[in-house]
Amino acid sequence: GAGVSQTPSNKVTEKGKYVELRCDPISGHTALYWYRQSLGQGPEFLIYFQGTGAADDSGLPNDRFFAVRPEGSVSTLKIQRTERGDSAVYLCASSSSSADTQYFGPGTRLTVL
C-alpha cells in the first residue's frame, strides 16, 4: 500500500519567509510524528499527534514552529520567519497507534538562503 508521503520534496526560501510542509500519513494511522534532521546527524523529534491533538510538542525549538492536524490525517508543519539554521530535512512518520512501529516518509529538504 501507499506509504507516508511528504510535499514538497524540496523547498528553497529566503530568510524571514513563512513556509508550510505537508505530510500525508499511511491511511488509517492515528499517530503522526515530525522530526528534523540536520546534515550528518540523526533525526531529532519535534512533535507528535494522536488524532487531531498534539500529544507531545516538547521538541519544537521555539514559537516560530507550529504544526496542525485538523482532521486527524494530513498534517502541516508551519515555520514563521525562517532562519538559515532552520535548513534541514523535515521527516514525517506515522503509526497505527502510539504503541506501534513508526513508518517514515522521504522527507522535505528545506533550504533557507
Partner 1 sequence: DAKTTQPPSMDCAEGRAANLPCNHSTISGNEYVYWYRQIHSQGPQYIIHGLKNNETNEMASLIITEDRKSSTLILPHATLRDTAVYYCIVRVIGSKIIFGSGTRLSIRP
60 closest CA partner among 42, 76, 77, 74: 77
77 closest CA partner among 26, 27, 25: 25
Name which of 2 and 99 has its Cβ closer to partner 1.
99
Q: Site for partner 1 (CB under 8 A): which residue of 25, 26, 33, 88?
A: 33
Q: Is 79 in the site for partner 1 (CB under 8 A)?
A: no
Length of the chain, please?
113
Q: List the grid coordinates of 90.
A: 523535515
Backbone angles phi, psi at 89, to 5 degrees: -100, 125
Q: Is 41 in the site for partner 1 (CB under 8 A)?
A: yes
SS3 86: helix
Q: Site for partner 1 (CB under 8 A): which residue of 26, 35, 54, 110?
A: 35
Choose the stretch contacting partner 1; rule: CB under 8 A; options: 14-22, 38-46, 63-71, 74-82: 38-46
Name which of 76 and 98 has its Cβ closer to partner 1.
98
Q: Which of residues 7-26 bind partner 1 (CB under 8 A)?
A: none
Return d(Cα 78, Cα 80) in angstroms, integer: 7
Residues that bind partner 1 (CB under 8 A): 4, 33, 35, 41-45, 48, 56, 59, 91, 93, 97-99, 101-107
